[in-house]
Each structure stands twice: as C-alpha cells, then as structure tokens.
Amino acid sequence: MALEYTKTEAKQWAKEKFVGLEAPIFPSFSPDLSELDEDGIRYDVNHIIANGMTSILIAPEGTGMTMEEIKRFISIVNDEARGRVHTSLSVLMNTVEENIAIMQHHEKTGGDMAMLGHPVMYDPESVEELYRNYKYMCDATNLALVFYPGRLKLKRWDISGWPMEILPRIADIPNVVAMKIQGGASLPFTLQCFHLVGEQILVADPMPSAWFTTIPNYGQQWAGAGPFYSTQTPEDQRNVKLFNALRNGDMEEAFRIHWQNMPNAAAAGMAFANVNYPETGILVAYVDKYAHWCNGGNGGILRQPTGRLYDYQKEAIRAGLRAIGFTPREPEEEFYVGRMNYAKGARLKRY
C-alpha cells in the first residue's frame, strides 16, 4: 500500500501526524499454542484503540513465532487497524536481513512506521561501522523510522551505553523521524538526546514520570511504545489524560492523575522484582499481557522462550490495580486460554 509521505517528507509528516500515546500489541495463540489466534489479536487491536492510543506497535520479538507467523501477525494488525490509528513495528530480529524482510512486509500490508534497532546477530567493530549498518537498514525501506538504541549496551565507547556523537548523523537519515528512549533510562540520558537531536527529530521517553520534564521543557508530543493499558481502561483513560494535561499546560490536573496512579507502582512493582529488562534486553511481554487482560485485554500465554508468570507476580499486578481503583478481571483460566477462546468454550486441560 502507498505511504502518505515520501522519504524526504517523512520528518515533516511525523511532526504533523505522530502525536499522542503508542501501546504495544503482542500475539495471541490458540490454547495449545500451535497457531495464532486471529480473533484474539483483532480484539486487542480494538481494545487498544478504545483506550485512546493513536498508534499501535506490533511487537513480535521474544514471543516464539516463526517468520511466517510474524508476517501473518503484522498483516492481521494492519488490516484491523487500517484507517483508524498508526501502526508501527518493533524491528529487533535475529539478523539484518530479517529486519529488512519484516519492514518490507509491514510497508506492503499497510503499516506506516517502524521502530528499528540493531539485530541480535550483530557486534559492531567501530562507531563508524555502527552508523553504516543502521543506515544500510534505513535505506532498505521507505517507512518512517523510530531509532531505538535500547538493545545495545556499548559502554566500551560511551559510559551512557550509546555513542552520543553519532546521534545527529542518525537523525539526519531522511526516513529517521523519531527516537525512542528505552524505558528505565536515566533522565540525563533522555535530556541529552533531546539536547542533541530534539530539533531534528521527535524524541520520546515512554515513562510518565519523565513527562513532567520532557513535555513542558522539550515539547515531547508522543510517547511509547508502553503498556499504558496496564493502568487505565477505555472508560478511564488516565495515561492519555495525563499526557494531554501536560501538553496543555494543566499542571494541577497532571499532578492529580500522577498521584492517583502512584499506589500502583508500589504494589505492581513486585511483579518486576526479578526482571531486569534494561540490562538483559529480554522483553517481559507475559507481564504486560497479564496486566492488559486484567483491564480488559485478550490475554493468553506466549510461547517459550517467554518466562513463567508466577502467582506472586499476578497478585502484585492485581493488588496494584485494586490500589488505584480498578477491579481485575476473573477468572484466571480465561487469561491462560485467551478471552476470545474462553468465550468459545476453550478451557485448560486438566490431568
């Protein structure tokens, strides 16, 4: 499908069109995990849109899919979301060639953006080679790209984990329109990125606590991708309201919503006590899937190599939601088989 912009127009297109919050969508599977659950995926697309998101990030990494399943997952999301919200794609595959292949499929099936990082099978020999590799991938697609440095910890070249001197050069690549800060990055890291490339491209920190600085002082206009549906519902879009309050300069409302949601952090934080995503680079999608299901999403277990979801993690998430006024969904069995499958009569096997 034709994009709304050319490569030379991509930066201006993003400044005009990419505003608001972006949430990830993870795949749903049949109860025996043998195939994709198309109804569950389509349900989650609509639930994310109902939550007030302006973009959906298709997130295939760490969810145990084959390349053909990844392409089908992308196609389903793009078809269901078409004309209603932007669809981006998390491009963090095994190799450069796989990165390029799924970006081309995303563009062909209606996607308009991609969050591009370096693949797993990659170890740069110099800062210059790091730049050349990234530009090579950018040149292979017409998509507007969000630069994502979060999966490389290059402390041998920069104590921050990323060689800051090449950020302006990456931002100069025609179809690089934005940069996503990895969740959990330090505030100085975020502010240095705004300082270096904030005039060239959109920079976004997905953490609501950072927005109190980045929105009024640096003009951040979009945030994500983050599991914002974990602490709001379509009827009570707290994260959307917080983001918009800060963009509108309504600090009183922003502080009210921030403190309203604060009890969740203390309780639900226990679910992540043994998970270190910033350092391991391993996506904890099963935790986000569970929290989304508790607030109305499809749920469903992911294939290995995902971790197990322990009872203390589930209870921490549920306690966090109760602490901020939400009632977690029941029964637990529905989460394991997926909401749509459960409605069709699927149940866990008992032995």
**pLDDT score of 154:** 81
- What are the tens digits of pLDDT across the range 160-188? 888 999 999 999 999 999 999 987 788 99
**pLDDT score of 210:** 96
Q: Is residue 346 part of a domain?
A: no
Would you call 38 helix, strand, or coil by DSSP? helix
Q: Is residue 211 part of a domain?
A: yes
- Structurally, the chain folds into a number of domains equal to 1
Could you tell me what percent of the chain has a pLDDT over 90?
82
Q: Is residue 134 part of a domain?
A: yes
Q: Is residue 133 part of a domain?
A: yes
What is the b/e burial string over 45-59, where b = at least 16 CB atoms within 10 angstroms of the residue's CB? bebbbebbbbbbbbb
Average pLDDT over residues 338-347: 98
Q: Please determine, for residue 275, whether its predicted confidence score (pLDDT) is greater than 70.
A: no
**pLDDT score of 277:** 58
Instruction: Report the chain's mean pLDDT, rounded to a whole number.
Output: 93
N-term to C-term CA, the chain: 49
Q: Range of 141's domain?
A: 7-340
When mean pLDDT is compared across 40-44, 294-298, 303-307, the lowest value belongs to 303-307
Q: Please determine, for residue 270, whether its predicted confidence score (pLDDT) is greater than 80.
A: no
Q: Is residue 349 part of a domain?
A: no
Q: Please determine, for residue 281, whether its predicted confidence score (pLDDT) is greater than 60.
A: no
**pLDDT score of 280:** 56
Q: Is residue 255 part of a domain?
A: yes
161 touches 181 (CB < 8 A): no
Q: What is the largest CA-CA distance in the chain?
A: 60
pLDDT band, residue 273 (cuts 50/70/90): low
How much is the pTM?
A: 0.95
Whole-Å CA distances, 188 to 181, 205, 219: 11, 12, 16
- What are the tens digits of pLDDT across the range 70-92? 999 999 999 999 999 999 999 99
Q: Is residue 302 part of a domain?
A: yes
When mean pLDDT is compared across 225-229, 242-246, 277-281, the lowest value belongs to 277-281
> Which segments of the chain are extended strands (E)?
20-25, 55-58, 86-91, 113-116, 144-147, 176-180, 202-204, 222-223
Which domain CATH number covers 272? 3.20.20.70
Q: Please determine, for residue 41, whether its predicted confidence score (pLDDT) is greater than 70.
A: yes
Q: Is residue 325 part of a domain?
A: yes
